[in-house]
């Protein structure tokens, strides 16, 4: 009798779960939470805030959003296994996520093979929307090409001839450096690249890297390191005087996710992309800031905005599609416009890249911590190759 009762209860629970699922859109999200917590924990908080706001407003056509997250252990095989589990066991409606570029590419390929919609929220490699882009994959965050293109005009104004390069030796770093070389050389033909240090991700030997760069006697440095690698590089560079009398142009360093841990050791005078949350005075951003601080009693990081915009994008796509059907979602996202804390963005029909931009400014020290000053917002729509170039980069029919 007890076994029969347990079986009935289990069946009822399954029926209740199915009924609940019918009233929801389930978002399956995969990311490197353990490997990259500085960015991804605020990112998760941003997602949670957006889910709560969408649901509080009545959901999407009366259906609530449900967020399920999985950790990929920073491994491509684990990434694909997590995606498969979310689709087959959890029956999610939408796939999103990705931080490290090579894992984002694994999810891009998975979406192509399974013919399922995927929104790449964070990975920056250009290949996601160009060389390995496909019908099913869209990308939110400004790519390496876009962010580098935002920095190059400032690099050109420096009028420095001898440049050194330092970057993590995987897809993101390689892509960023290739774009920087291409764009800087086109704008300043006499430029020379006198040193190049490609370091293992998360395992930079900062002492030897800094010494190698110093030995090359560059006039300026282009840095692509982030997270703990950035902190080690900055501290060793400060100790050895690498940055004295040299200009540094740096991707992502102005993001509080990476700048704040350095505290008073934060670099001064670097030209960076970042997120000066404390000084953005637009109504859209103020509304987000107030809601985030009220919900979490903390300030947002760059990851917070990416996570928030990820859910806003998915909600807008589902609303426009009226369904989680893959083909309807793909059609809805093609040219989709979304209101965000950074202002309106559009998912470009020609390559599925959003026009979300980034802030460019200079690092400084205020009250013993690093901040961005003299910053400006760069609209991502202004930093794209021509449609003809995109057509050549992107596989035909994808």
pLDDT tens track for 36-92:
998 999 999 999 999 999 999 999 999 999 999 999 999 999 999 999 999 999 999
In the chain, helix, strand, coil percent, each to 5? 50, 20, 30
Residue 11 reports pLDDT greater than 70: no
Angle of helix 101-114 relative to helix 76-88, nearest 10 degrees, comes to 40
Same domain, 377 and 236: yes
Same domain, 305 and 159: no
> What predicted TM-score, i.e. pTM, was given to this entire model?
0.92
Same domain, 34 and 84: yes
Pair of tokens at residue 132: 């390995």
Q: Establish if 395 belongs to a structural domain.
A: no
Same domain, 25 and 110: yes
Same domain, 169 and 218: yes
- From the list 234, 180, 243, the residue with the least C-alpha distance to 214 is 243
Q: Establish if 37 belongs to a structural domain.
A: yes
- Which of residues 14 and 134 earns the better pLDDT score? 134
What does each C-alpha distance from 186 to 144, 155, 191, 360, 392 come to in angstroms? Answer: 17, 12, 9, 21, 19
Same domain, 138 and 6: yes
Average pLDDT over residues 108-118: 97
Q: For residue 83, how many other CB atoms are within 10 A of its CB?
A: 25
Q: Establish if 240 belongs to a structural domain.
A: yes
Residue 332 phi, psi dihedral angles, 5° rounding: -65, -40
Same domain, 98 and 230: no
Cα four-point dihedral sign 40, 42, 47, 52: positive
pLDDT tens track for 279-328:
999 999 999 999 999 999 999 999 999 999 999 999 999 999 999 999 99
Total domain count for the chain? 2
Q: Establish if 397 belongs to a structural domain.
A: no
Q: Establish if 387 belongs to a structural domain.
A: no
Average pLDDT over residues 357-374: 97
Q: Establish if 388 belongs to a structural domain.
A: no
Residue 386 phi, psi dihedral angles, 5° rounding: -65, 160
- Per-residue buried b or exposed e for 51-81, using 16+ beta carbons within 10 Å of the residue's own CB: bebbbeeebbeebbbbbebbbbbbbbebbbe
Please give the Cα distance from 100 to 81 (Å, whole number). Answer: 16
CATH of the domain at 313: 3.40.50.2300
> Which pLDDT score, from 0 to 100, does residue 396 have?
73
- Show the domain range for 273: 145-278+358-382
Average pLDDT over residues 15-30: 71
Pair of tokens at residue 91: 């029956």
> Which pLDDT score, from 0 to 100, does residue 22 have?
60
Q: Establish if 30 belongs to a structural domain.
A: yes
pLDDT tens track for 152-187:
999 999 999 999 999 999 999 999 999 999 999 999
Residue 274 phi, psi dihedral angles, 5° rounding: -175, -155
Strand-pairing partners, residue 378, are 358
- From the list 201, 208, 193, the residue with the least C-alpha distance to 230 is 201
Same domain, 248 and 337: no
Same domain, 235 and 185: yes
Same domain, 130 and 7: yes
Residue 6 reports pLDDT greater than 90: no
Q: Establish if 239 belongs to a structural domain.
A: yes
Same domain, 225 and 366: yes
What does each C-alpha distance from 8 to 1, 14, 19 come to in angstroms? Answer: 11, 10, 16
Parallel/antiparallel/unpaired status of strands 337-340 and 220-223: unpaired
Whether the CB-CB separation of 32 and 74 falls below 8 Å is answered with yes
Strand-pairing partners, residue 271, are 249, 362
> Which pLDDT score, from 0 to 100, does residue 17 have?
43
Helical spans, DSSP H, in the chain: 2-22, 37-56, 76-88, 101-114, 144-158, 171-187, 206-215, 227-240, 256-259, 283-296, 302-321, 326-333, 387-393
Q: For residue 8, how many other CB atoms are within 10 A of its CB?
A: 10
Confidence of residue 395 (pLDDT cuts 50, 70, 90): confident
Whether the CB-CB separation of 214 and 162 falls below 8 Å is answered with no
Mean pLDDT value across the chain: 93
pLDDT tens track for 32-46:
999 999 899 999 999
Residue 5 reports pLDDT greater than 60: no
Same domain, 169 and 264: yes
């Amino acid at each position: 009798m007890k076994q029969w009762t347990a079986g009935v209860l289990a069946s009822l629970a399954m029926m209740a779960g199915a009924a609940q699922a019918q009233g929801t859109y389930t978002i399956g999200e995969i990311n490197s939470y353990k490997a990259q917590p500085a960015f991804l924990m605020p990112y998760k908080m941003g997602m949670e805030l957006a889910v709560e706001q969408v649901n509080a407003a009545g959901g999407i056509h009366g259906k609530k959003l449900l967020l399920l997250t999985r950790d990929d252990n920073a491994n491509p095989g684990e990434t694909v296994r997590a995606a498969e589990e979310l689709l087959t066991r959890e029956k999610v409606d939408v796939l999103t996520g990705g931080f490290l570029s090579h894992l984002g590419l694994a999810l891009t390929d998975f979406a192509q093979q399974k013919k399922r919609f995927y929104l790449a929220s964070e990975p920056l490699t250009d290949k996601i929307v160009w060389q390995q882009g496909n019908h099913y994959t869209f990308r939110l965050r400004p790519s390496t090409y876009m962010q580098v293109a935002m920095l190059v005009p400032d690099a050109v104004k420096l009028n420095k001839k001898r440049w050194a390069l330092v970057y993590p030796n995987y897809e993101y770093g390689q892509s960023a450096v290739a774009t920087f070389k291409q764009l800087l050389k086109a704008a300043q033909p006499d430029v020379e690249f006198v040193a190049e240090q490609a370091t293992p991700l998360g395992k930079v030997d900062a002492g030897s890297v800094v010494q190698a760069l110093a030995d090359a006697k560059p006039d300026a440095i282009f840095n692509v390191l982030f997270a703990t690698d950035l902190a080690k590089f900055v501290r060793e560079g400060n100790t050895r005087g690498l940055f004295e009398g040299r200009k540094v142009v740096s991707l992502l360093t102005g993001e509080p996710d990476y700048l704040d841990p350095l505290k008073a050791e934060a670099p001064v005078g670097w030209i960076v992309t970042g997120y000066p949350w404390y000084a953005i005075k637009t109504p859209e951003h103020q509304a987000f800031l107030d809601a985030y601080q009220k919900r979490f009693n903390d300030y947002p990081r760059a990851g917070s905005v990416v996570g928030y915009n990820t859910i806003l994008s998915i909600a807008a796509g589902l609303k426009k599609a009226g369904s989680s059907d893959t083909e309807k979602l793909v059609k809805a996202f093609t040219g989709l416009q979304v209101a965000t804390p950074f202002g309106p963005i559009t998912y470009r029909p020609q390559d599925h890249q959003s026009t979300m931009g980034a802030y460019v400014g200079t690092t400084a020290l205020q009250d013993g911590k690093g901040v961005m000053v003299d910053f400006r917002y760069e609209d991502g729509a202004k930093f794209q190759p021509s449609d003809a170039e995109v057509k050549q980069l992107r596989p035909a029919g994808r």
